[in-house]
């Protein structure tokens, strides 16, 4: 399983990437961590004429705190996120979820930008982007634009990026102090893509759920927010009844996919079960130990 | 060294480890020969069809391509894979009613393609990269035919036939029986019928297949290096296909990265690559990649059993009738082997008089079905062990109790089963205590009553615990023979060459321990040569948990003869009688007189032919003996597996709280290595039960092409296993050993099925097929 | 020509210059161009972990990395784990605990384990199992590997057996 031949470029600036994309258009693929693209090329399911390697561009890898936000360069390794004290402090939900992404050796190369641009329906990072309502900074031939989480992914493996564009940065609001959160994943084996995963962040004030953000991975063709479940929780106490209803709403509201791993019915069922478990765990974490 | 058995029974650390831990192992993929070409195959993407044409013209023009050939042209040059290995012993053919047809697979498909992945053409190029580029440029024109995917549909007379010369897809049909099963069923107080399905999965070793061949013009001889478990078999077929005497063919297996049966027969590639090497006059290397492996290395299991069984009010099994079908895939490389294993392993450790099994082997448009760890026994054990639990549920008895009531008691051993093994000999369970293995397993899980109490209490709180049991017996060490050459080297070290072929079992270590004990030397002073037809000219190879039994026997036989000679020469030198001598510390010494001894090196020198020899009259020159061990029949290992499962019924996930194995393989040569075999086999069994699946769609397209689809268990997916050993020595070989390589893969699938059914017994749900997937468990419960 | 590359890299402490196609996989470059056949490939699609090596101090799957991407990198393979004929603590523990059978996955196991222990020198058994799930083994059933890793971790914490200067 050897890849087909290609022309290889390793630019050192984003401007050089733009020029190469302009010159080669659809003949070119961007190579980030390679943990998805290289396997496809080894199978010859992808046979790009041109590879633009992004791994030599230092300006694309960084983790910065910037006025209530965390800015992360697209080529930041998942491993760097895993061991970053900034992520642990400011984005603890991402800190927890990142350990579910593949295995340590794949996180040594895999990047946050690569995962988002790939938009696999069962990937964890796109789900976290939804929950935390992050946004991505995209560079194109005519400059920069921002895409909010809800508008980034259109379908399985399909983002709203144009062919000439490149994902350059990911931005998150720092999670509110005292926010409750949890993430649960169900897969056949440890480290596999999720058959179903649910992540949630809740802000509870004076006994009432002020803000609920819940998203899935693996159950539909792309990660999406469970707005029906969120609406049930917001404005009321986070009790067993609310959680149960939110779980049911979650299961009912998704557009599940069916494949060899799970039927639509089972994915609905898993969504309900995992949403309930995530919300229970988040609620538990608020209680004094 | 005063102990009789210095090294047998000790966990001697492996000598293989040094090279494997430092990257100095040599696997077939590591070979580099000057001028070597790399092969890539063009494989069918259609399950069934007539080959109209193969166009190699564009491929031949690709950079770096040296040669290409397709099936239709190759058929004019070479015969198909010979089927001499499939010949059944006369003792069997006269005892068992059977019909067998043996379609012989051509080295490249030429008239039809019969499964997705079947090779149609081969390209040789300067690198594998370039060969794959060229392979993409080959056009194969196939006229599709209806695919036979369901073997039951393949039985019909209106089905498409894979091998049109036969007018049927049934290429094997046999029946074995004892007693009067129909009458007994009719009279039984209870009578039930069930279908059991054991699905298709495979060995999937971490090293795929690989063959390197080189033709030496000077001697007109060929060397074939293959990741292979049966190199003497390979040489025999290569001799036929290449029309060369065996004496000019050398077959070698270097370090092999796991076999588990899938590398245990001769494949078309094993024969085609050496032909190509001779044809083009350059060494040729073919390394199978993982994608190819799924579609061309043998699959296994895939049996459907329709069982009818009768029992009494106390749960005694009275009659057992099984009609089963093996989904054989497109070819049948090892003939009756798997199916017949299944048939005779059905009775298990149980005592009952009325038994009938009929087996049909049906070809389908899938990858051929051959041996994989257990080789037919897991399917048999699945059926019988589900039956034991079904009897228990029907009568409201504990499944452990039902087994106890049916097991052959120790007092009745050796036990004559009443049907023949595949070597034609009547099956006799030679030694062991089956009820004791079950008792020990129940103790190891914390006691049966204690568990049932826990189970009741848990269920009241909405938690579901289940006990899964799997008991089996296993015929090991099958013949016809294995070979050993034992030679005293001029240095005094002992040289052993044997016909066995290791793939990670630690054979170099094990056999050095056995030779060390036989000759009273240190294992470090034993040189071991295996898996090389140049080292020993007749051999059988490693399959069917047979090598420790058979090679140890051959070592014993060779050593017995050689030691007589050694003593004769030593007596001559020491001017005493041979009866006054003994082996000690790498020497021959006078009994009772410490210090009066001659090192083996001295004896070796004295045995040399020529003027200075010191051999007595009548003793031939040289200190080497080749001998064979032909076991009288198989020797029976056995085990009980018991597991406590904790079900997360919402998700359908199974947590294995405890997994216990009580195992008897007789005398244990190296306890650490035996435990390793048991761990490995059990995890493969669990993989088959829960994760691994080779699925096809209705057009015969294989739905598995990568490790994303085929789920091999990882470290987080397996429980800690507690092992307990029993040791009833085998009476059938000099060292009292029984085979252990396959055993622990046999029980896990039924242990899981039984455990899940037991956990959900209040819902009266049955799981009678594999794999058992989370969705099935969740669905079984969510409606209630 | 963009279809071939020249790469400069350090492997097991030695500097190398290589020329290969831009599509040459790092695993193949090590095996075929540098004759370091200790690194094995089990799947060529980045799932089985058998090909795992050290690149710039981190465990990485070499079958899904281009040799071109290793330009300027420091690589350690299984051949570079022992120093002056002495085993790394993990190699020693593997040997003493029978944590390998056929040895094919062993190169990937060793690299994965050693990297993991650097990030977590006092792991629990479940943490070890999770880390090991990065590499598939068909022979051992993992039980002895888990045991070996716990033992190696203890040895390394107590300083009774050295790690290796290379990794």
Instruction: Give the whole-angstrom CA distance, residue C133 versus residue A189.
Output: 9
Q: Does the pLDDT value for residue C167 go beyond 90?
A: no
Stated pTM of the model? 0.97
What's the gap in Å between the CA of C42 and the closest CA on chain B?
A: 5
Kindly state the DSSP code that residue B717 receives in the 8-state scheme.
G
Picking from A4, A191, A263, the nearest residue to B775 by CB comes out as A263
**CB proximity list for B4: less than 8 A, separation 6 or greater:** B517
Question: What per-residue confidence (pLDDT) applies to C83?
Answer: 85
| Cβ within 8 Å, pair B651-A270 | yes
Q: Does the pLDDT value for residue C164 go beyond 80?
A: no
Q: Mean of the pLDDT values across residues B430-455?
A: 98
Task: Work out the pLDDT band at B3, boundaries 50, 70, 90.
Answer: very low
Residue range B114-128, pLDDT digits in tens? 999 999 999 999 999
Residues in A lying within 8 Å of C, measured between beta carbons: 1-10, 31, 34-35, 38-39, 41-43, 50-51, 53, 55, 79, 83, 103-106, 108-109, 189-191
Strands B653-664 and B721-726, how do they pair?
parallel
What's the gap in Å between the CA of C8 and the closest CA on chain A?
A: 15
Tell me if chain A has a CB within 8 Å of the CB of B529.
Answer: no
Nearest to B769 by CA among B184, B85, B306: B306
CATH class of B300-478+632-782: alpha beta
Q: Mean of the pLDDT values across residues B573-587?
A: 96
Average pLDDT taken over every residue of chain B: 96
List C residues 20-79 in contact with B (Cβ-Cβ < 8 A).
21, 23-24, 31-32, 35-45, 47-48, 50, 77-79
Residues of B whose CB is below 8 A from A266: 775, 778-779
Chain centroid to Cα B152, Å, comes to 27
CATH topology of domain A60-173: 3.30.465
Instruction: Give the whole-angstrom CA distance, residue B472 versus residue B465.
Output: 23
DSSP-based three-state secondary structure for B545: coil
Residues of C whose CB is below 8 A from A39: 44-47, 64
Question: What per-residue confidence (pLDDT) applies to C159?
Answer: 87
pLDDT along chain A (289 residues), means of 10: 98 97 96 98 98 98 97 98 98 98 98 97 97 98 96 96 96 97 95 93 95 98 96 97 98 95 96 98 87
Question: What per-residue confidence (pLDDT) applies to B149?
Answer: 98
Instruction: Give the whole-angstrom CA distance, residue B41 versus residue A27.
Output: 28
Residues of C whose CB is below 8 A from A103: 49, 112, 131, 133-134
Nearest to B508 by CA among B527, B492, B489: B527
Task: Work out the pLDDT band at B1, boundaries 50, 70, 90.
Answer: very low
Q: φ and ψ at A148, to 5 degrees?
A: -70, 160
Decide: residue B209, CB within 10 A, 0-12 exposed, 13-18 middle, 19+ buried: buried
Q: Mean of the pLDDT values across residues B285-305?
A: 98
CATH class of B17-23+479-629: alpha beta
Of the residues C104, C123, C146, the best mutation for testing chain B's interface (the one with the most B CB atoms within 10 Å of its CB) is C104
CATH of domain C4-80: 3.10.20.30
Instruction: Give the whole-angstrom CA distance, residue B358 versus residue B174.
Output: 6
Q: Which CATH architecture has domain A180-286?
A: 2-Layer Sandwich (3.30)
Tokens at B203, concatenated: 């060995």
CATH class of A7-52: alpha beta
Picking from C5, C45, C52, the nearest residue to A39 by CB comes out as C45
What's the gap in Å between the CA of C65 and the closest CA on chain A?
A: 7
Q: Does the pLDDT value for residue B631 go beyond 80?
A: yes
Q: Which chains touch C (3 or more CB pairs under 8 A)?
A: A, B
Residue range B74-89, pLDDT digits in tens? 999 999 988 877 778 8
**DSSP string over B664-713:** E-BS-S-HHHHHHHHHHHHHHHHHHHHT----B-TT--BS--STTTS---
What's the gap in Å between the CA of C140 and the closest CA on chain A?
A: 18
Picking from C21, C47, C78, the nearest residue to B22 by CB comes out as C78
Residue range B646-675, pLDDT digits in tens? 999 999 999 999 999 999 999 999 999 999
| Cβ within 8 Å, pair C87-B205 | no
Nearest to C138 by CA among C50, C79, C31, C53: C50
Whether B31-145+209-287 and B17-23+479-629 are alike in CATH topology: the answer is no
Nearest to B701 by CA among B44, B105, B201, B121: B44
Domain ranges of chain A: 7-52, 60-173, 180-286
| Cβ within 8 Å, pair A189-B713 | yes
Q: Which chains touch B (3 or more CB pairs under 8 A)?
A: A, C
Tokens at B352, concatenated: 């009952």
Residues of A whose CB is below 8 A from B651: 186, 270, 273
Nearest to B585 by CA among B517, B520, B494: B520
Instruction: Give the whole-angstrom CA distance, residue A61 versus residue A14.
Output: 12
Tell me if chain C has a CB within 8 Å of the CB of B707.
Answer: yes
| Cβ within 8 Å, pair C59-A105 | yes
Domain ranges of chain C: 4-80, 89-158
Kindly state the DSSP code that residue A194 receives in the 8-state scheme.
P
Sign of CA dihedral B363, B365, B371, B375: negative
Q: Mean of the pLDDT values across residues C109-131?
A: 98
Average pLDDT taken over every residue of chain A: 96
Of the residues A1, A103, A118, the best mutation for testing chain C's interface (the one with the most C CB atoms within 10 Å of its CB) is A103
Tell me if chain A has a CB within 8 Å of the CB of B655.
Answer: no
Q: Does the pLDDT value for residue B254 go beyond 80?
A: yes
Q: Mean of the pLDDT values across residues B532-544?
A: 97
Q: Which chains touch A (3 or more CB pairs under 8 A)?
A: B, C
Nearest to B23 by CA among A273, C106, C153: C106
Nearest to A156 by CA among A8, A275, A255: A255
Chain C residue with the nearest C-alpha to that of B712: C136
Is ipTM strictly over 0.85? Answer: yes
Asked if residues B734 and B550 have their Cβ atoms less than 8 Å apart, the reply is no
Q: Mean of the pLDDT values across residues B477-504?
A: 97
Tokens at A238, concatenated: 């986070």
Q: Does the pLDDT value for residue C1 go beyond 70?
A: no
Residue range C26-81, pLDDT digits in tens? 999 999 999 999 999 999 999 999 999 999 999 999 999 999 999 999 999 999 99
CATH class of B31-145+209-287: alpha beta
Tell me if chain A has a CB within 8 Å of the CB of B290.
Answer: yes
Asked if residues B137 and B59 have their Cβ atoms less than 8 Å apart, the reply is yes
Question: What per-residue confidence (pLDDT) applies to C85?
Answer: 85
Kindly state the DSSP code that residue C86 receives in the 8-state scheme.
B
Residues of A whose CB is below 8 A from B774: 186, 188
Domain C89-158 superfamily per CATH: [2Fe-2S]-binding domain (1.10.150.120)
């Amino acid at each position: 399983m050897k890849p087909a031949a290609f022309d290889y470029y390793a630019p050192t600036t984003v401007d050089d990437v733009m020029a190469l994309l302009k010159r080669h258009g659809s003949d070119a693929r961007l190579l980030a961590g390679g943990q998805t693209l290289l396997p496809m090329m080894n199978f010859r399911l992808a046979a790009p004429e041109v590879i633009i390697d992004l791994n030599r561009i230092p300006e694309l890898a960084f983790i910065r705190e910037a006025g209530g936000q965390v800015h992360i360069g697209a080529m930041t390794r998942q491993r760097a996120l895993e061991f970053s004290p900034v992520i642990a402090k400011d984005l603890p939900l991402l800190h927890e979820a990142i350990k579910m992404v593949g295995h340590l050796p794949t996180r040594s190369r895999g990047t946050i930008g690569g995962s988002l641009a790939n938009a696999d329906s069962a990937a964890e990072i796109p789900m976290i982007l939804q929950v935390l309502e992050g946004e991505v900074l995209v560079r194109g031939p005519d400059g920069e634009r921002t895409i909010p989480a809800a508008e980034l992914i259109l379908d399985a493996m399909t983002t709203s990026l144009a062919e000439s564009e490149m994902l350059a940065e990911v931005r998150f609001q720092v999670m509110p102090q005292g926010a409750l959160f949890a993430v649960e994943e169900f897969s056949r084996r440890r480290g596999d893509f999720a058959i179903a995963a649910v992540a949630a962040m809740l802000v509870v004030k004076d006994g009432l759920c002020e803000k609920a953000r819940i998203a899935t991975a693996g159950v539909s063709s792309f990660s999406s927010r469970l707005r029906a479940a969120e609406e049930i929780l917001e404005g009321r106490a986070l009790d067993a009844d609310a959680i149960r209803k939110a779980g049911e709403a979650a299961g009912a509201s998704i557009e599940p996919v069916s494949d060899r791993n799970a039927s639509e019915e089972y994915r609905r069922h898993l969504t309900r079960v995992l949403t309930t478990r995530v919300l229970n765990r988040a609620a538990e974490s608020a209680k004094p130990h | 060294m005063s102990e009789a058995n210095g090294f047998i029974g000790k966990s001697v650390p492996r000598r293989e480890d040094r090279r494997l831990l430092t990257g100095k192992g040599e696997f077939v993929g590591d070979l580099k020969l000057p001028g070597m070409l790399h092969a890539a195959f063009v494989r069918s993407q259609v399950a069934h069809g007539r080959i109209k044409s193969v166009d190699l013209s564009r491929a031949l023009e690709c950079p770096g391509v040296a040669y290409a050939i397709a099936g239709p042209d190759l058929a004019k040059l070479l015969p198909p894979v010979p089927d001499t290995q499939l010949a059944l012993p006369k003792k069997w053919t006269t005892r068992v009613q059977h019909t067998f047809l043996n379609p012989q697979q051509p080295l490249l498909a030429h008239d039809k393609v019969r499964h997705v992945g079947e090779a149609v053409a081969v390209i040789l190029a300067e690198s594998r990269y370039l060969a794959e580029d060229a392979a993409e440029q080959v056009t194969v024109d196939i006229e599709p035919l209806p695919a036979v995917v369901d073997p039951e549909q393949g039985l019909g007379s209106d089905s498409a036939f894979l091998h049109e010369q036969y007018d049927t897809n049934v290429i094997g049909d046999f029946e074995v029986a004892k007693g009067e099963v129909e009458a007994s069923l009719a009279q039984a107080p209870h009578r039930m019928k069930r279908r059991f399905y054991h699905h298709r999965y495979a060995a999937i070793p971490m090293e795929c297949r690989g063959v390197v061949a080189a033709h030496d013009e000077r001697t007109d001889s060929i060397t074939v290096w293959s990741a292979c478990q049966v190199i003497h078999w390979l040489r025999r077929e290569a001799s036929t296909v290449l029309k060369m005497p065996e004496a000019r063919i050398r077959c070698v297996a270097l370090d092999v990265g796991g076999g588990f049966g899938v590398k245990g027969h001769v494949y078309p590639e094993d024969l085609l690559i050496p032909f190509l090497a001779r044809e083009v006059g350059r060494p040729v290397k073919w390394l199978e990649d993982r994608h190819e492996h799924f579609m061309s290395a043998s699959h296994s299991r895939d049996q459907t059993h329709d069982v009818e069984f009768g029992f009494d009010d106390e749960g005694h099994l009275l009659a057992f009738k099984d009609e089963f079908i093996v989904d054989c895939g497109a070819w049948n490389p090892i003939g009756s082997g798997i199916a017949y294993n299944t048939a005779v392993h059905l009775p298990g450790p149980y005592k009952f008089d009325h038994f009938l099994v009929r087996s049909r082997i049906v070809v389908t448009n899938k990858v051929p079905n051959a041996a994989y760890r257990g080789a037919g026994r897991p399917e048999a054990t699945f059926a019988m062990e589900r039956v034991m639990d079904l009897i228990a549920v029907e009568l409201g008895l504990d499944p452990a109790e039902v087994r106890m009531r049916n097991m052959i008691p120790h007092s009745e051993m050796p036990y004559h089963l009443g049907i023949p093994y595949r070597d034609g000999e009547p099956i006799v369970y030679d030694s062991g205590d089956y009820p004791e293995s079950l008792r020990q397993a129940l103790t190891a899980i914390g006691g049966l009553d204690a568990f049932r109490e826990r189970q009741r209490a848990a269920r009241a709180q909405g938690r579901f615990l289940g006990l899964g049991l799997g008991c089996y017996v296993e015929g090991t060490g099958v013949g016809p023979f294995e070979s050993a050459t034992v030679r005293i080297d001029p240095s005094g070290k002992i040289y052993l060459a044997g016909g066995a072929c290791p793939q990670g079992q630690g054979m170099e270590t094990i056999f050095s321990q056995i030779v060390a004990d036989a000759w009273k030397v240190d294992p470090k002073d034993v040189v071991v040569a295996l898996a090389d037809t140049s080292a020993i000219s007749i051999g059988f190879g490693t399959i069917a948990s047979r090598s420790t039994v058979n090679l140890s026997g051959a070592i014993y036989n060779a050593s017995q003869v050689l030691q007589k000679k050694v003593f004769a020469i030593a007596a001559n030198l020491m001017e005493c009688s041979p009866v006054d001598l003994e082996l000690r510390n790498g020497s021959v010494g006078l009994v009772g007189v410490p210090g009066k001894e001659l090192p083996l090196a001295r004896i070796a020198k004295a045995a040399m032919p020529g003027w200075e020899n010191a051999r007595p009259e009548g003793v031939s020159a040289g200190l080497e003996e080749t001998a064979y061990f032909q076991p009288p029949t198989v020797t029976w290992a056995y085990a009980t597996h018991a597991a406590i499962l904790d079900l997360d019924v919402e998700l359908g996930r199974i947590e294995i709280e405890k997994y216990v194995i009580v195992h008897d393989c007789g005398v244990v040569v190296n306890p650490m290595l035996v435990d390793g075999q048991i761990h490995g086999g059990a995890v493969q069994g669990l993989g088959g039960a829960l994760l691994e699946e080779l699925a096809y769609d209705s057009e015969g397209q294989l739905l598995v092409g990568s490790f994303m689809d085929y789920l091999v268990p990882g470290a987080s997916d397996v429980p800690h296993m507690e092992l307990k050993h029993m040791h009833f020595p085998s009476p059938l070989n000099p060292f009292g050993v029984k085979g252990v390589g396959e055993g622990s893969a046999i029980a896990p699938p039924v242990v899981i099925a039984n455990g899940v059914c037991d956990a959900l017994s209040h819902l009266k749900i049955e799981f009678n097929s594999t794999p058992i997937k989370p969705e099935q468990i969740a669905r079984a419960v969510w409606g209630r | 020509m963009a279809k071939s590359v020249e790469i400069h890299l350090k492997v097991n402490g030695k500097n190398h210059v290589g020329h290969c196609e831009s599509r040459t996989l790092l695993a193949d470059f090590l095996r075929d161009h540098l004759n370091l056949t200790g690194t094995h490939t089990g799947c060529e699609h980045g799932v089985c972990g058998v090909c795992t090596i050290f690149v710039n101090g981190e465990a990485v799957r070499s079958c899904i990395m281009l040799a071109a991407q290793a330009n300027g990198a420091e690589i350690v393979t299984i051949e570079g784990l022992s120093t002056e004929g002495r085993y790394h603590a993990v190699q020693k523990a593997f040997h003493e605990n029978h944590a390998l059978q056929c040895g094919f996955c062993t190169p990937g196991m060793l690299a994965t384990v050693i990297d993991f222990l650097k990030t977590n020198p006092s792991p629990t058994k479940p943490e070890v199992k999770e880390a090991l799930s990065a590499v598939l083994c068909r022979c051992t059933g993992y039980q002895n590997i888990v045991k070996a890793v716990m033992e190696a971790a203890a040895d390394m914490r107590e300083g009774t057996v050295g790690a290796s200067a290379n990794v």
